[in-house]
Structure 1
Amino acid sequence: MHHQALRLLLAFLCSTFLAASAYANLPDSILQKIKKPTPEEEVGELISLARYYSRTSTVEFAQVLAEEGLKRAKALKNDSLVLKAKFILGSCYEDHGYYRLAAKTYQKGLALSKEKGTLEDQSQFLNAIGICYDYLGKYNEAIEVYLEAQKINEKLGYEKDMAYVLINIGLIRFNQKNYKEAESTFLRALKIGEKLDDDEVRALVWSNLGMLENERNDLDKTLYYQQKTLEIDLSHDPINPNWVGSDYSSIGEVWMKKGNPDSALYYLMKGLEIKKISMANRPLVTSHIQIAEFYLGQNKWGLAKAHIDSAKAIGHDLEDPTIRLEILRIDARYLVATGRGIEASALYENYIRLSDSLQQAQNYAAGKLLEEEFDLELRARDLADMEMQLLDEKEKSRSMRIALVLFLILIVLLVWLYFLNLHKNKELHTKQELLDKALAELQKRNEEINLKNEALEDALSTKTRFLSVISHEIRTPLHVIMGLANSLKEECKDPEHRRSIEILYDSTLQLIQLVNEVLDLNKLEHGSVKLKLLPFSFKQMLNTLKGAYTVECKRKNIGFEMNLGENLPEYLLADRIKIEQVVNNLLNNAIKFTENGQVKFEVKLLEENKDQALLELQVIDTGIGIPEKDQVNIFNPFYQADGDTSRNYGGTGLGLTITKALVELMQGTISLDSTPGQGTKITLILPLKKAKDPQNGESALQSTWKWPEGKTLLVAEDHPQNQMLLKMMLTRIGATATWTNNGAECLKAALEQKYDVILLDMHMPVMDGYEAAQHLRKKFGDSVYLMGLTAANIDEVNEKAESLFDSMLFKPYPQEKLYKLLEAAVNK
């Protein structure tokens, strides 16, 4: 009893002394900071950050935060926070591929949740344990915990969690090759997702149904399910890199099976690039194996070997047996392909041995674990017996000697603790000062960065406004120059003068193209270009291109050939203007750089389903070609192969940059194959939606069309030169108009007399065209035809303006376009 009393006294004195010394020596700055957030709030923030990074970014960082959060939660003895931290930590281990460690962490969380948690906590941990068992090949154990979780979900009425459990059970049936049962289970989960209108459940089911159809070799259904999954996963904000990356990789595998290497490689590499954001090991290994499979199929051994090595390096420490088997298989296949059969045979033997012994190894490990636990229990008992013997011996010794020894030890210990605590306090104070200094410096740098970002945003905004204003101011005089040049060209009979006017007209067109390219590049860089999906006749567009470029090539004395494949869709739901801009850029480039030979334009259908068509468009020329060293940079802004190209052929070097950006905006791909001195081939792959007949066919304008008698025309245009040019154009078709200088005068004239057609410029003093159109629509409704005239870019006209006007005419415009719209207006 005396010994126990001395022991308790010693413990009490030590703990009291340490606590008092530590608190007394803390700096005031630290005490103030401790009082601001509660410890529970700090732990909650750590766990929230861990959850965020585990879903969106670096898994290693999430693991560090989760481990620190668990440590602090245990210190606080807060069971709720401990459960949250254990779950996040387990998910980090799972993302790394440490499935046994993840399962052990989840099991500890399950035990605590059964004692002090909720049924919801138990369901969450059971589902996570089942996933780990699935990866480890313990399918029966996984089914058992899933069914236990399902009972809890049914009791709580959590239908979404019930759907997740069904999906996981379906995956096990899939791994067991029981495809019929797997499909039935997936469809049950989809039914719940449809009932709840939950896109996340739908995406998971569609992804797994795509995987199932892939095993059945129904590639069209597989592609359909994977693309729907990708659409939903991309709609999340923020996106989950593992989900989106896996979607891209799955689509790439389908294209690989369908024999489309370009699309396959694009989606596989895109999947790998996105998975690298989260740095989760298992998805990265899977992507490297898939890409290695692709390169082996293309006989590109070096590239295949690089990805096999990456898979081996990342997957070295993974506990997933299926991943280890896949690495052995792909490595052996590479050795066979490169003629190293003996080494491949050894790997195949390892593959078979690992596969056969997997279950045996698991059983053996379980037995060893039980044996070790039994040995530990025996040792614990021995230690307890020895401790009892030691206590008995101590009881037999003299009390005074023990008391003296303990007292001396206590004195020495207290002195040592005092100096140790003093040293620790000094170190802590120094570190705190350094930390405060670093935080202050970091805050200062953040403020500087924010100021620079604000200045950069202001500069970009000013640049955009400047380009928009200068565009309007440049287009207005260009419109006048082009119109007058066209008029003079038609009236001039002298060949020499006519040729000079043609040069003036062509130069004006080149300047307009330059303005458009600069504006398009600025909008694409800012992400402000949006696709306007409207139905149109695809074949009519191709015929129009054929007619225009046949004439253009004939002027340059080179051939032009258009080859159209079979079964091309008649109508598409797409942005026709953007598609024509892409094709025009490529054809104009081909013609510009071809002096002899011909230019070909080929279109064919690669794949199609009920709603979508995958088209391949190729532009092939026999021009000067592009050196291999310049092909990598040819899509960069303002880049041309060399100085002679710019001097001999002109241009800004923006055409291909804009083309590539527009193609990617349409979810397509662009590739280039060129040989100097022989020519260039550019290939586009565009996935476009099909449409029905829009039934809005346009009749061709007759060159003899004249303004009908009895029809009235009102024009609002403030620019004198534009008025002069427009009068010349209208005079040629026998039209007489009433002229006003702004929207207010136009509105007054319309109220005094009824007009059939009204032309309104958008930018005018007093009252602009938008405001005048609103008043006219409110007064006359659809009984008057309103045509808008503007020097703005087509993308700058908003939907509200389009709804006010029957048609829009963008300056500079040819007179034929004006006549065509006027004919449509009077025939309305």
Structure 2
Amino acid sequence: MLLKTKGIFAFILFLVTISSFGQALYKETTKINDSVDYYLEIALFNKEDKNSFNKAIIYTEKAILFAKANDLEPKLADCYLILGGIYYDLQKPEKAIEHFIRSINIYTKENPNPNLALSYYNLGKCYLEQDKQELSEIYFKKAASIYQEFEFYDAIELINVQKGIIQKNKGNFLEAEAIFKKAINNISNQDALADTKVEAFFQLGEIQFLNNNFSAAIEHYNDALKLNEQSIYNIALEKKILKKLSRAHNKNSDFKKSNEYLERYVKISDSISQFYSKYLSENTFEKVEFDKQLETIENLDKEKKNQQKTLRFSKLISILSIALISILSLLSLSLYKNNKIRITTNKLLKDKNRELTKEKEKVEKASKARAEFLATVSHELRTPLNAINGITYLLLQEKPKKSQLNYLNSLEFSGKYLLNFINDILEINRLESDKVVVEKISFNLNELIENIKVSFNEFIVTNNISYVQNIDKSIDYNIIGDPTKLSQILINLINNAIKFSKNGEVIFSVKQQKAEDNLVTLDFEIKDTGIGIPSEKQKDIFESFSQGSVEINRTYGGTGLGLSIVKKLLSVLKSDIELTSEEGKGTQFNFSLIFEKGNNLPKVETEVTNSDSVFVGKSILLVEDNKINQMITKKMVEKKGMTCEIIDNGEDAIEHLKSNSYDLVLMDVHLPGINGTEATTEIRKFNSEITIIALTAISLNENREMLLSFGMNDVVTKPFIPENFYDTMAKYLTKA
């Protein structure tokens, strides 16, 4: 349970932000700072007063763009700090951590200030919420040291209570109890930190509750409840205390008291405000309707008076007046009834919309939970899979016995299969997150298609496939589009065609449909003579984890994700795919894509070099805390004739590189204490030349840009494919 910061930190941030403006800046710069402050003020207003987090994020990002455009680094740090706080309130700790780290990286370039302490404190809260208590302690200590330097003793007391919660969670009850009692003695009942004192009483009760000393727990809970009612009256705190009081009395067999506190808890939880707002809105409507009716009656009275006057002059006018009044009355009645019907209909529509909104939120939550679960499982599988694939590769390189070779080949196949499965899950997850960006890169279509064919050569021979490529010769120019996504689509479709057409034929065709001005439309066709797809399965074949049948899965393998990825990628590229298939006769896939025309660039002949000679004699520093990963990576490095030094934490790596030089650094991202990104930022302060390659088990597509922004040269994901690992290293060692 985390203690929520309130006025003291907002006040500190406000004072420091305001005091930083106007010092050592020209008048023009002051106007720019005021513009950044203006955006941040609007963002904080929307978050605190209107609970509009969307607008808060929009205005904070506007402030970030403004600060970047005008090279205002201190202001940029303030923006990242506020944006991190918004994401923390939205219960997105990962996003919050990212922005707090960005603010810390900028603040640490200057002299220590309270905003740096606030960033450290918030980072500690995020890690505590993720149950990473050791990390949270590190950052709380950093924050406390800065607040001690600035003599912000109230802020230190908040941090002490957080440390007490950490000790309680670790089971160090005596140490935690001492911290909470000290906080209670140091904070007065009328202090701005009175809610901190309430929390300290509550945590003392929690310790007694965990020790099954329910009478003592009740006493502390009552102290918290009494102080809350006398000084701050925080409804959220009161609900929390009442709930625990009910449980403590229940455990103490005082069921009457338990029921009383439970009733108080339920009473507070009832949506009284909603009831009264609804009541007032309905009565307001009735009042409006009554006023309308009253106005109608007054009009009728006026008409009657006019009628009495007109009776003196003419009978005919009197009859016409009566008729007119009757007509007006009927119209009024008709309007009234229509209005009632409209109100009833609107109410029904609002109720239905409310129900649909709730259902939509449920579906979105379920989808988000599924995505987070798949991402977490895939991430957790990568570390042990890196060990499996790495050790298998090393054993195969050591000339195993013939009797062992089959086992190792099977293990290598299973590891690659599992890695492809994990990558497919992450790709589906990424495509469904609506965060996919379509690139515009100039590339040679013929070279891309030829590279894909080369990658399938062994698979084609193994399945005895007659593979034919028909590429329109009129496409004699480069095209501009997204080659990565096009490759993914073609690889999935061609792979399926080869897999399901053993001893058959696969024909891949590309034709130019039309060329207008600077745009060209290309038709792609992949046709095979394989097993085909039953008609009843064709409508579901593009769904995730869908295959023709259980027998097909057992015979040919696969995850059933390839066609789903193809469908989603084409949707991102504003296109669709057509399927024509007959069981036992084969399958044909067709799709069209629009590209921009590029220049006719000459083909560059790549120089083939002896890759092993690039590695020999090079020195590598490996920063990695996992012992198995240390062993595997070091073996793979030394296999190519390089030397490898291992350091298991970021702090020592920074100090070591100040007095030692290497040709390349392999930096694990997730390290104890200072992580890989922070370590890289520190190294770049004194060494901007050395090559640093990130090693990470997270999804490359989602995090590559973020990692590169901290000063890393490249990224290799775990479990890494040996060829890709060596190619990435060779790219930089060649330049060294």
The TM-score, its normalising length taken from structure 2, stands at 0.52
Tell me the equivalent position of 1:361.
none
Distance 1:816 1:586 in 2: 24
In structure 2, give the amino acid aligned to 1:593.
F
Distance 2:620 2:501 in 1: 47
Tell me the equivalent position of 1:647.
554
1:557 to 2:464 alignment:
yes
Distance 2:515 2:324 in 1: 79
Among candidates 588, 591, 596, match of residue 681 of structure 1? 588
Distance 2:330 2:591 in 1: 71
> Following TM superposition, where does structure 1 have runs of at least 4 consecutive aligned residues deviating by more than 6 angstroms?
403-406, 694-697
Partner of 1:728, secondary structure, is: helix
Deviations 1:125-181 (A, max 9, x none): xxxxxxxxxxxxxxxxxxxxxxxxxxxxxxxxxxxxxxxxxxxxxxxxxxxxxxxxx
Among candidates 454, 464, 467, match of residue 374 of structure 2? 467
1:753 to 2:647 alignment:
no
Distance 1:649 1:471 in 2: 23
Pair 609,407 (structure 1): closer, same or farther in 2 beyond 3 Å: closer
Q: How does 1:279-294 map to 2 (within 5 A)?
A: none
Distance 2:705 2:384 in 1: 27
Tell me the equivalent position of 2:123.
none
Tell me the equivalent position of 2:452.
545
Q: Judge conservation of contact 2:700–2:715 (CA < 8 Å) in 1.
A: no
Pair 630,443 (structure 1): closer, same or farther in 2 beyond 3 Å: closer
Distance 1:412 1:609 in 2: 78
Identity of matched residues, %: 29
Q: Tell me how far 1:593 sits from its aligned partner.
A: 0.8
Distance 1:609 1:427 in 2: 61
Q: Judge conservation of contact 2:524–2:590 (CA < 8 Å) in 1.
A: yes
Greater gyration radius: 1
Q: How does 1:380-779 map to 2 (within 5 A)?
A: 407-415=314-322, 428-429=335-336, 431-569=338-476, 571-608=478-515, 611-692=518-599, 693=601, 699-700=607-608, 702=610, 704-705=612-613, 707-709=615-617, 711-779=618-686
Pair 494,620 (structure 1): closer, same or farther in 2 beyond 3 Å: farther
Pair 411,796 (structure 1): closer, same or farther in 2 beyond 3 Å: same
Distance 1:700 1:538 in 2: 22
Q: Tell me how far 1:730 sits from its aligned partner.
A: 0.8
Q: Judge conservation of contact 1:471–1:791 (CA < 8 Å) in 2.
A: no
Q: Tell me how far 1:678 sits from its aligned partner.
A: 2.3
Deviations 1:7-32 (A, max 9, x none): xxxxxxxxxxxxxxxxxxxxxxxxxx
Instruction: Structure 2: state its 5+ residue gaps.
Output: 1-309
Tell me the equivalent position of 2:224.
none
Distance 2:627 2:538 in 1: 48
In structure 1, give the amino acid aligned to 2:701.
D
Distance 1:457 1:817 in 2: 37
Deviations 1:93-140 (A, max 9, x none): xxxxxxxxxxxxxxxxxxxxxxxxxxxxxxxxxxxxxxxxxxxxxxxx
Distance 2:656 2:666 in 1: 13
Tell me the equivalent position of 2:695.
789
Q: Judge conservation of contact 1:623–1:679 (CA < 8 Å) in 2.
A: yes
Distance 2:439 2:603 in 1: 18
Distance 1:467 1:581 in 2: 21
Q: Tell me how far 1:416 sits from its aligned partner.
A: 5.0
Q: Tell me how far 1:585 sits from its aligned partner.
A: 0.5
In structure 1, give the amino acid aligned to 2:490.
V
Distance 2:546 2:475 in 1: 35
Tell me the equivalent position of 1:125.
none
Pair 562,705 (structure 1): closer, same or farther in 2 beyond 3 Å: farther
Q: Tell me how far 1:659 sits from its aligned partner.
A: 0.9
Tell me the equivalent position of 1:282.
none
Distance 2:670 2:481 in 1: 30
1:817 to 2:724 alignment:
yes
Q: Tell me how far 1:586 sits from its aligned partner.
A: 0.9
Please say which of residues 762-771 and 606-615 is displaced more in the overlay: 606-615
Distance 1:544 1:770 in 2: 34
Partner of 1:688, secondary structure, is: strand
Q: Judge conservation of contact 1:529–1:795 (CA < 8 Å) in 2.
A: no
Instruction: Structure 1: state its 5+ residue gaps.
Output: 1-402
Q: Tell me how far 1:429 sits from its aligned partner.
A: 4.9
Partner of 2:673, secondary structure, is: coil
Distance 2:452 2:664 in 1: 31
Partner of 2:615, secondary structure, is: coil
Distance 1:495 1:820 in 2: 29
Tell me the equivalent position of 2:119.
none
The TM-score, its normalising length taken from structure 1, stands at 0.47
Deviations 1:511-554 (A, max 9, x none): 22222222222332332221233344444333332222121121
Distance 1:671 1:449 in 2: 33
Which structure has more helix as a fraction of its residues? 1
Partner of 1:615, secondary structure, is: strand
Distance 1:695 1:432 in 2: 75
Q: Judge conservation of contact 1:763–1:790 (CA < 8 Å) in 2.
A: yes
Pair 496,601 (structure 1): closer, same or farther in 2 beyond 3 Å: farther
Tell me the equivalent position of 2:707.
801
In structure 1, give the amino acid aligned to 2:696.
T
Tell me the equivalent position of 2:251.
none
Distance 2:471 2:331 in 1: 82
Distance 1:645 1:792 in 2: 32
In structure 2, give the amino acid aligned to 1:746.
A
Q: Tell me how far 1:732 sits from its aligned partner.
A: 0.6
Distance 2:323 2:537 in 1: 73
Q: Judge conservation of contact 1:546–1:562 (CA < 8 Å) in 2.
A: no
Partner of 2:592, secondary structure, is: strand
Q: Tell me how far 1:661 sits from its aligned partner.
A: 2.3
Q: Tell me how far 1:719 sits from its aligned partner.
A: 2.5
Distance 1:818 1:520 in 2: 21
Q: How does 1:47-126 map to 2 (within 5 A)?
A: none
Q: Judge conservation of contact 2:382–2:697 (CA < 8 Å) in 1.
A: yes
Distance 2:612 2:590 in 1: 41
Pair 681,826 (structure 1): closer, same or farther in 2 beyond 3 Å: same
Q: Tell me how far 1:650 sits from its aligned partner.
A: 2.9
Pair 671,473 (structure 1): closer, same or farther in 2 beyond 3 Å: same
Aligned Cα root-mean-square deviation (Å): 3.2
Q: Judge conservation of contact 1:539–1:570 (CA < 8 Å) in 2.
A: no
Partner of 1:705, secondary structure, is: helix
Pair 427,778 (structure 1): closer, same or farther in 2 beyond 3 Å: same
Deviations 1:492-528 (A, max 9, x none): 4333421222222222222222222222223323322
In structure 2, give the amino acid aligned to 1:488.
L
Distance 1:546 1:417 in 2: 89
